[in-house]
Amino acid sequence: MVHIFLKNLIKKWKAGVIVPLSLGLFVLLIAAIWPDMREAADIFAVILESPVYQAMLGDIGFINITLWPGAHQMYMNIMLEYYMIGVAIFIPTKIITEEINKKTLDVMLSYPIPRWRFLLEKFGVYLFYSLLIPLFLMLFTFLSTEYLQYNYAHLNVEFDYLVLTYSMIGIWMQFFSLGAIALFCSVLILDPRKALGVSAATIFGMYLLFRIGGMTESVEIVKYFSVFNYMTFGAIMSSGTFPVGDFFVLLGVGLAALVGALLIFQRRELKY
Amino acid sequence: MTQEAVLQVSNLTKVYGREIHLGSKKFGKKIVGAQNVSFSVSKGEIFGFLGSNGAGKTTVIRSILNYLRIEEGEISVFDLDHRKDSLEIRKRIGYIPGDFAVYENFTGNELIKYFNHFRQHDKEFLEELRTIFTVNLKQKTRTLSSGNRQQVGIILALASKPEFLILDEPSSGLDPLITAKFHKILKRLKKEGVTIFLSSHDLTEVQAICDRVGIIKNGEMILVEDIENLRKKSLQHVTVRFSSGKVPKLKEIKELDFVLEVKQKNNGNFELKIKENIDPLISWLKGYEIERLSIEDANLEEIFLHYYD
């Protein structure tokens, strides 16, 4: 029933597992250096007091890295944003454009499978492997916290796993929403280079809107047009609550883009 | 056509690009991929589809497969609408695209297994194909030569023994031995009732295995004809040597209506290319004493070139 999904899942397992795994392993690395790092936190605090840095870093500028959750959050914010931009631009865009580039689409679509299903199953592979990212991050956060509690008991390290779960749901929802937007761009354009350009411009443009809107109050409104503004890791960790409204915004945007992509791909002519 | 038509193409017109007129200015460009193309392919027939590069062959094939949206006309396969019933049609066809490519990180065997999920293979026939073709199916396709990759494509297209095969340059890159085996399979499939639509640049291939041929030029179907009739009706090569008494002048022969081309050889032979009916030649020759006469049908290549001149 889901042969395309399963076959691609197996064929892409190396990249699909190794990348989330390495992201997770970095959490262990941060945990290993954090006890030393916190001793130099005063120097960081002085730097972070600068309004320029605070504007550039947004929420991160107010993080207290002398606490383990703060250091963890700093890492997550910095690494995940850029990783997410890269993954969301390249992987979903290439679902179809790579088939066009390698001229494999004509043979595949000569078999009796609806185009929308072919696209959905391949997008499912992206969703599956992007789910591994929060799962690995949670696992390694747990292991890191255990390590710190065991080896540095005097630091009274604690972590709220419920809030971490909320923020991980947020991460995955952002992957879903951004991925669906990139997929939509790719089936609309089809031409591999142009599609990649449009996906990159759209997603990076949204990232800039989020950053610019966060920097200046007068243009704050622009950040609401960015997927990056919803269910952010930092905001969830700071508030400690699940942002239901944000969740539905991401779900709505993601579903609209995905359904749009499926409909367009099902009906459009494959001219390339 | 008395036999059931498996493929029916009527007035197919496909235009690429768009032209926008703003006042006296024109923006964009329209390119006609196919114009009023009509033909049909009967059950159990091998139909050869000829045309130069850019003539519109791939446009027609991709339109049949519903990859392209046509501006005008109708296409039906098994009496089903090519667009509305595309899924049903794809259950019953096999296809090799002109620029055949498959997933590079799959082995031939993996591809066979993978595509079997979508269109069930005829196990017995598949085993036969495995023995006929020499490609190593345990190798990843990215490591195969183009000819061997093409063999994988042929196996995939034929494995389910579909009722209708659409083959775009299927023997490109194949060695002569494999090509001969492939032609043998196609002929056998034809006997079993399989319909084959074969687009090819290899005119010898078309001549060897096709029943009818369609020639497309600048997006228009300029000819659809039975191969044998075409050869009979079209060009014929005549070599004639007149007895020494009365020999016509070269100029005189050139002026004859039915003569397309004439050359006088050193040995005294005249080589003529004549069109269609041989009767006017025979009548004209009656006025001369002939020492030697041979008449041969032109091959498909010459016919093709004649239409393309």
**Inter-residue contact A193 to A271 (CB < 8 Å):** no
| Residue from the list A102, A110, A271 with its beta carbon closest to the beta carbon of B90 | A110
ipTM score for this prediction = 0.83
Most B CBs within 10 A among A1, A2, A13, A110, hence the mutation to make, goes to A110
Q: What is the pLDDT, as a whole number, of residue B267? A: 78
pLDDT in tens, A210-235: 988 888 888 889 999 999 999 998 88
Q: What is the pLDDT, as a whole number, of residue B2? A: 52
Tell whether B242 lies on the interface with A, counting CB pairs under 8 A.
no
Taking the C-alpha atoms of residue A39 and residue A46, their distance in angstroms, rounded to an integer, is 13
Cβ pair A103:B117 closer than 8 A: no
Tell whether B95 lies on the interface with A, counting CB pairs under 8 A.
yes
List, as ranges, residues 223-252 from A with C-beta within 8 Å of B: none
Which residues are bridge partners to B262 per DSSP?
B272
What average pLDDT is seen over chain B?
90
pLDDT in tens, B195-215: 999 998 777 888 889 999 999
- Which residues of A are less than 8 Å from B114 in CB distance? 3, 7
Cβ pair A104:B103 closer than 8 A: yes
Q: What is the pLDDT, as a whole number, of residue A149? A: 93
Cβ pair A112:B99 closer than 8 A: no
Among the listed residues B124, B139, B134, B176, the one whose alpha carbon sits nearest the alpha carbon of residue B154: B134
Taking the C-alpha atoms of residue B249 and residue B258, their distance in angstroms, rounded to an integer, is 16
Q: Residues of B268-280 as b/e, b for ≥16 C-beta within 10 angstroms?
A: ebbebbbbeeeee
**Inter-residue contact B275 to B268 (CB < 8 Å):** no
Instruction: Estimate the share of chain B in helix, then strand, then coil, as percent rounded to the nearest 5.
Output: 30, 35, 35
- Which residues of A are less than 8 Å from B102 in CB distance? 104, 107
Full strand arrangement of the beta sheet holding B212-217: B93-96, B164-168, B195-199, B46-51, B212-217, B220-226
**Could you tell me which residue, B126 or A235, shows the higher pLDDT?**
B126
Taking the C-alpha atoms of residue A95 and residue A262, their distance in angstroms, rounded to an integer, is 12
Task: Give percent of chain B with pLDDT exceeding 70.
Answer: 97
Q: What is the pLDDT, as a whole number, of residue A37? A: 83
User: CA gyration radius for chain A?
Assistant: 20
pLDDT in tens, A32-52: 998 888 877 777 767 767 766
Most A CBs within 10 A among B75, B114, B166, hence the mutation to make, goes to B114
Reduce the secondary structure of B6-33 to three states and give it as a string: EEEEEEEEEEECCCEEECCEEECCCEEE
Indicate if the pLDDT at residue B244 is higher than 90.
no
Cβ pair B101:A104 closer than 8 A: yes
Q: In this structure, what are the phi and psi dihedrals at residue B262, rounded to the nearest 5 degrees? A: -145, 140
- Which residues of B are less than 8 Å from A112 in CB distance? 87-88, 90-91, 118-119
Confidence of residue B243 (pLDDT cuts 50, 70, 90): confident
Q: Tokens 């497309």 appear where?
A: B216
Q: In this structure, what are the phi and psi dihedrals at residue B226, rounded to the nearest 5 degrees? A: -65, 135
The residue of chain B with its CA nearest to that of A110 is: B90
Confidence of residue B1 (pLDDT cuts 50, 70, 90): very low
The residue of chain B with its CA nearest to that of A11 is: B105
Tell whether B113 lies on the interface with A, counting CB pairs under 8 A.
no
C-alpha angle with apex A223: A220 to A228, nearest 5 degrees? 150
Confidence of residue A57 (pLDDT cuts 50, 70, 90): low
Most B CBs within 10 A among A108, A111, A113, hence the mutation to make, goes to A111
- CA of B87, closest CA in chain A: separation in Å? 5
State the average pLDDT over residues A86-115: 95
State the average pLDDT over residues A245-258: 97
Taking the C-alpha atoms of residue A261 and residue A120, their distance in angstroms, rounded to an integer, is 9
Among the listed residues B60, B44, B47, B43, the one whose alpha carbon sits nearest the alpha carbon of residue B5: B43
Q: What is the pLDDT, as a whole number, of residue B306? A: 74
What average pLDDT is seen over chain A?
90
Q: What is the pLDDT, as a whole number, of residue B148? A: 95
pLDDT in tens, B51-98: 888 889 999 999 999 999 999 999 999 999 999 999 999 999 999 998
- CA of A195, closest CA in chain B: separation in Å? 19
Q: What is the pLDDT, as a whole number, of residue A62? A: 64
CA separation (Å) from B109 to A113, A207, B112, B156, B159? 20, 44, 5, 10, 12
Indicate if the pLDDT at residue A245 is higher than 90.
yes
Low-confidence winner among A19-28, A172-181, A185-194 (lowest mean pLDDT): A19-28
The residue of chain A with its CA nearest to that of B94 is: A110
Tell whether B308 lies on the interface with A, counting CB pairs under 8 A.
no
Tell whether A104 lies on the interface with B, counting CB pairs under 8 A.
yes
Q: How many CB pairs lie under 8 A apart between chains A and B?
A: 59
State the average pLDDT over residues A242-254: 97
Q: Three-state SS for B94? A: strand
State the average pLDDT over residues B246-252: 86
Q: In this structure, what are the phi and psi dihedrals at residue B240, rounded to the nearest 5 degrees? A: -135, 140
**Inter-residue contact A263 to A116 (CB < 8 Å):** yes
pLDDT in tens, A157-178: 889 999 999 999 999 999 999 9
Q: Tokens 């942002």 appear where?
A: A243
Cβ pair A270:B67 closer than 8 A: yes
Cβ pair B90:A112 closer than 8 A: yes
A249 membership: H or E segment, kind and range: helix A244-267
Indicate if the pLDDT at residue B301 is higher than 80.
no
Q: What is the pLDDT, as a whole number, of residue A38? A: 80
**Long-range CB contacts for residues A249-255, cutoff 8 Å, separation at least 24:** A250/A170, A250/A173, A250/A174, A250/A176, A250/A177, A251/A173, A251/A176, A251/A177, A253/A177, A253/A180, A253/A181, A253/A227, A254/A173, A254/A176, A254/A177, A254/A179, A254/A180, A254/A181, A255/A180
**Inter-residue contact A157 to A233 (CB < 8 Å):** no
- CA of B68, closest CA in chain A: separation in Å? 5
Cβ pair B67:A11 closer than 8 A: no
Length of chain B: 309
pLDDT in tens, A103-147: 999 999 999 999 999 999 999 999 999 999 999 999 999 999 999
State the average pLDDT over residues A186-203: 96
State the average pLDDT over residues B164-173: 94
Indicate if the pLDDT at residue B299 is higher than 70.
yes
Indicate if the pLDDT at residue A15 is higher than 70.
yes
State the average pLDDT over residues B237-247: 85
Q: How many helices (H) and strands (E) would you count in chain B?
A: 11, 16
